[in-house]
Chains A and B, each alone.
Chain A
Amino acid sequence: MGIDNTTFYTLAISLFFLSIILIILIVSYLQMYKRLRLLQKEHDHAKDVLNQKTTRALQTAQNKADELINTAAKKAEEIINNTKITSNELQKTLDKNLEGLAKEQQAVVRKHTAEVLDDYKNELSDIKGANVRFLQEIIKNLKTDANNQIETFRKSLENKTLKSDDAVEERIEKAYDQIKIELEIKKQEKLKKLDEKIFEIVNIATKNILGKTLPLKDQEDLVFKALDSAKKDGII
């Protein structure tokens, strides 16, 4: 199998161009690498310079801060000392003012108290009068109510008494009737028992008398009469 010329030349040209592109790329890469190394060095240098500057700035700031703090402390001590002096003076002034104010207030309070007391007395007097009238009214009403209630109660009592009298009378009558019935029953029972007893006595007496007084001949005749009856009755 063979490759035609056209294809061969095309491939060769393509390979040539590709080689050139590869070379260009390698050269470019190397140049870029060199530049990167350079930049890295610059960066490191700049970083070192910056660190040094920062350290110096921090040191300076520390120093400044210490100085400020010391100054502030001194100032604060001075202020506190001044303040103590001012407080004592202020206290005295305040006491004086308060004393004056208290006196004024006392006067005002006294005045108001007197006024309030007067008002209270007047009010109390008014209330007292009103209360007396109110109480009198209440007592009057109570009295009226009590009288009314007593009257109602009296009437009710009269009615109830009358009704009660009727009820009692009715109950007594009922009880009386009941007792009459019970007495009648007991009387009948007693009479019945008495009758029974009398009858029993008569029975015994009759038999005793008859048994003792009946002659033997009559006894014998009775036996034969009985036998005749038994024969008639078909017993024998």
Chain B
Amino acid sequence: MTLNTSSIYFDLVNSLRTVEESNNIIALIEELKGSTFQLKKNDFKSILNNSTLTKAGILLKDLLVKHKVNLSDQIEIEKFLEAIRDSLKKLRSINLTLSFIPNDKMLDRLSAWIKTNISDGIMLDIQYEPSIIGGIKISYYGMYKDYTLDKAINQILQTQKEQITKLIA
């Protein structure tokens, strides 16, 4: 089997949205790589066919199937896993702090926006901070900016401080 690394990378970029998902794949690969030397041929198949697979497991299984990896060939499996891991290392990330925990739909939307407006291969590194009320804090490639409601409210209140105080007093 000839490994098409570009294709693997493309599949990963399309399948993964967040840094967390990427890290889960890496963790699973590490786990599987260790087990390939110890398990028998059918054991690896049975792991991948397990109905209790995590999202990362399902994604990995889909990739193995899509790229027609011989699950009986331990060396081939290892090479494939290594190629995935190398591709994951190439991925970049953007740090976004939100005031709520985004659901899958929101993650899809965010991921799509990033791919459309910035580039492929950028994973979302999501942080949850309710005190920002709304909006986001962005940190990307050493750049940082606060687009939160908390900051906006503070600015408004500061500029209107005298009037507000007079109104209340």
CB <8 Å contact, B145 and A230? yes
Tell me if B169 is interfacial: C-beta within 8 Å of chain A.
yes
Identify 6 new A-B residue pairs, CB closer than 8 A, beyond the known A203-B154, A229-B147, A235-B144: A195-B161, A199-B165, A207-B131, A207-B133, A211-B149, A231-B118
Tell me if A219 is interfacial: C-beta within 8 Å of chain B.
yes
Can you list 18 A-B contacts with CB-CB less than 8 angstroms, sorted by A residue number?
Answer: A195-B161, A199-B157, A199-B165, A203-B154, A207-B131, A214-B134, A219-B100, A223-B106, A223-B110, A223-B135, A223-B136, A224-B113, A226-B148, A227-B136, A230-B136, A235-B143, A235-B144, A236-B118
Q: Which residues of A contact B (CB under 8 A)?
A: 194-195, 198-199, 202-203, 206-207, 210-211, 214, 216, 218-220, 222-227, 229-231, 233, 235-236
Known: A216-B100, A223-B98, A230-B138. A210 touches B153 (CB 8 A): yes
CB <8 Å contact, B99 and A219? yes
CB <8 Å contact, B106 and A202? no
Q: Which residues of B contact A (CB under 8 A)?
A: 94, 96, 98-100, 106, 109-110, 113, 117-118, 130-131, 133-136, 138, 140, 143-145, 147-150, 153-154, 157, 161, 164-165, 168-169
CB <8 Å contact, B135 and A211? no
- Interfacial chain B residues near A224, Cβ < 8 Å: 109, 113
CB <8 Å contact, B169 and A198? yes
CB <8 Å contact, A226 and B153? no
In the bound assembly, the distance between CA atoms of A187 and B58 in angstroms comes to 69
CB <8 Å contact, B134 and A231? no
- Interfacial chain B residues near A218, Cβ < 8 Å: 134
Among B110, B149, B164, the one with the most A-chain Cβ atoms within 10 Å of its Cβ is B149
B157's partner among A206, A211, A226, A231 (CB-CB below 8 A) is: A206
Known: A214-B134, A229-B147. A203 touches B153 (CB 8 A): yes
A235's partner among B134, B138, B148, B164 (CB-CB below 8 A) is: B138
- Interfacial chain B residues near A230, Cβ < 8 Å: 136, 138, 145, 147
B32 CB to nearest chain A CB (Å)? 35
